[in-house]
């Protein structure tokens, strides 16, 4: 692979991370989200009304974002009540 291919891969990874960050920002209206980015380690904390709900850290920012978004997606999944209407679940 040449330098151009490396640049394209880097750009693709940046776009994926930006897309994941935008999804995380969507949740910021319902949750307090604290993102700590360090050269060797990244951590995201999720709280609601001052109560810690979830946190996850790791060396790879994309993996951290995917894990935290997986948690938020799971606790906010659409639930189907017995009357057949769908509602968005909230925590």
Q: Which tens digits make up the pLDDT trace of 9-21?
A: 889 999 999 999 9
The C-alpha atoms of residue 42 and residue 44 are separated, in whole angstroms, by: 7
Residue-wise pLDDT for 29-58, tens only, equals: 999 999 999 999 999 999 999 999 999 999
Token output for 2: 């040449």
Burial of 35 (0-12, 13-18, 19+ CB in 10 A): middle
Give the containing element (helix H, strand E) for 66. Answer: helix 61-75
The set of residues, in sequence order, having a beta carbon less than 8 Å from that of 80 and lying 6+ positions away, is: 86
Q: What is the pTM of this model?
A: 0.76
Q: What is the per-residue pLDDT for 8?
A: 86
- How does DSSP classify residue 40? S
- Whole-angstrom distance, CA of residue 44 vs CA of residue 24: 10
């Amino acid at each position: 692979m040449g330098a151009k291919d490396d640049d394209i891969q880097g750009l693709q990874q940046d776009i994926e991370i930006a897309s994941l960050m935008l999804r995380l920002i969507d949740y910021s209206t319902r949750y307090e989200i604290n993102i700590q980015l360090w050269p060797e380690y990244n951590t995201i904390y999720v709280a609601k009304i001052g109560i810690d709900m979830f946190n996850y850290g790791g060396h790879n920012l994309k993996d951290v974002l995917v894990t935290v978004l997986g948690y938020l997606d799971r606790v906010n999944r659409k639930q189907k009540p017995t009357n057949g209407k769908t509602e968005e679940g909230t925590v």
